[in-house]
Structure formats: C-alpha cells, structure tokens
Amino acid sequence: GQQLNQSPQSMFIQEGEDVSMNCTSSSIFNTWLWYKQDPGEGPVLLIALYKAGELTSNGRLTAQFGITRKDSFLNISASIPSDVGIYFCAGRDFNSGGSNYKLTFGKGTLLTVNP
Amino acid sequence: NAGVTQTPKFRVLKTGQSMTLLCAQDMNHEYMYWYRQDPGMGLRLIHYSVGEGTTAKGEVPDGYNVSRLKKQNFLLGLESAAPSQTSVYFCASSYGGGTIEQFFGPGTRLTVL
C-alpha cells in the first residue's frame, strides 16, 4: 500500500526559530491533514488541505498542499516552548475510490524547543 | 461538548485476560475508528465503523473485536490479551459524508504482562 515519508524524524531548535517539516507519498493524495500530539494526549487536528497548491494558515502554522499532490509541508514560525510535541501528517489516497474512512499517517516529527 | 472520550485511561492486564475499551463521541459523527500507536510504527487502523450496527477490519484487526450498537459508542474488545497488544489505543471519529477530518480521543495506555 501507499506509504508516507515524514521528515525530519526529530528536530531540536531554539525558541524563536522557524521550523519546516514535510511529508511525501508514493502516490497522489487528494487531501492532506496535519496533526499535533502532545505527550500523553491524542492527536489534535491543526490544518486540513484539499487542493493542490493550497496554502492554509492557523496562527503561526502554515501548511501547503504540494502541486505534485504527492507532498505537503508544515511551517511553524517563531517557535515557542508549547510547540513541543509530535507532528503527524495524514492523507487520503486519490485512488481510495472515494472512501472517506482511510487515512494514511506519517510516523511523525518530534519537535523539541529549547527555551 | 466533550468531543471524543475514552475509558479507561490506563490498564494493566495479564496474558490471557480480556477487557473492553470504550469510546464515546458527542459530535453526532457517523464514522468511528480504533487505532493503535507503537513506537516507530505510527498510527495503525485496527477496526472502523461507518455507522451504527456496522463494523469493518482495518490493517491490524487480529486479536481484536469491535461493536457499534449505538451511534455514539464504539467498543474495542480483547478476548485473550497478549504482550504484543501492549500499546496506546486511540479512538477517533469523523462526520462522514465526504469529509475525512478525524478527531481523536485522549488514548488508553494498555500493558499486557
């Protein structure tokens, strides 16, 4: 089946720095989602993307749906300590036949922010 | 709204014991899901339901059973727990009808000794 490669696996940054992470798939996706998981909690939806080239912001977070439809990017500007956590990408395969149950998840990027 | 809730939050079982994890959502969502999360493996779909009274297998269904007798509840059962089922279990729900955003519960950390 399709796979999502998420990179980097982990990041250690200083407070105030900008962060970039990305997700690539082996097949075309028609929807991309970005989640954040705090330690001991469930993933929380940050941003949803539906069209190739779409750029969407949520506060200091900005995500883009790649024009090839095989990738997506998440940027965090001016990081703060509460940005610490695991960021997951997830997507729906274009060939999923319209089923809206199946999401493919990346393995996550662990972000550590040093105050 | 409470969103998606899960009980219990933690549980320790001995090999061979059985248990049921309960998931409840108050968003009137049609679809519900059970995932397990293991280090280095990401989130893997165990079972899902597209409506009350229906269930289907995900990618790792062996050793688990589910039931969706009421729209707002989705139960995950382990009939005979094994150490390989030590994991963090997440329930999620989505509206359905073409939208795919899934909303997750806080998780249940299960240890099987």
Q: What is the mean pLDDT for each group of 10 consecutive residues in chain B (113 residues)?
A: 93 96 96 93 92 93 97 97 97 85 96 97
Look at residues A37, A113, A115, A24 and name the one whose alpha carbon lies nearest to residue A70.
A24
pLDDT digits (tens, 9 = 90+) for A15-48: 999 999 999 998 899 899 999 999 999 999 999 9
pLDDT digits (tens, 9 = 90+) for A39-94: 999 999 999 999 999 999 999 999 999 999 999 999 999 999 999 999 999 998 86
> Which tokens in the block code for residue B33?
């899901």
Residues of B in contact with A108 (CB under 8 A): 42
Residues of B in contact with A33 (CB under 8 A): 100-102
What SS3 state is found at B31? strand
- φ/ψ region of A72 (left if φ > 0, alpha if ψ in -120 to 50, else beta) reads beta
Under an 8 A CB cutoff, do B100 and A100 touch?
yes
d(CA A90, CA A97): 17
Residues of A in contact with B103 (CB under 8 A): 45
Chain A, nearest residue to B90 by Cα: A42
Q: Tell me the pLDDT of chain A averaged across its residues.
A: 91
Q: How confident is the model at residue A1 (pLDDT cuts 50, 70, 90)?
A: low
Question: Does the pLDDT value for residue A4 go beyond 70?
Answer: yes
B57 forms beta bridges with: B47
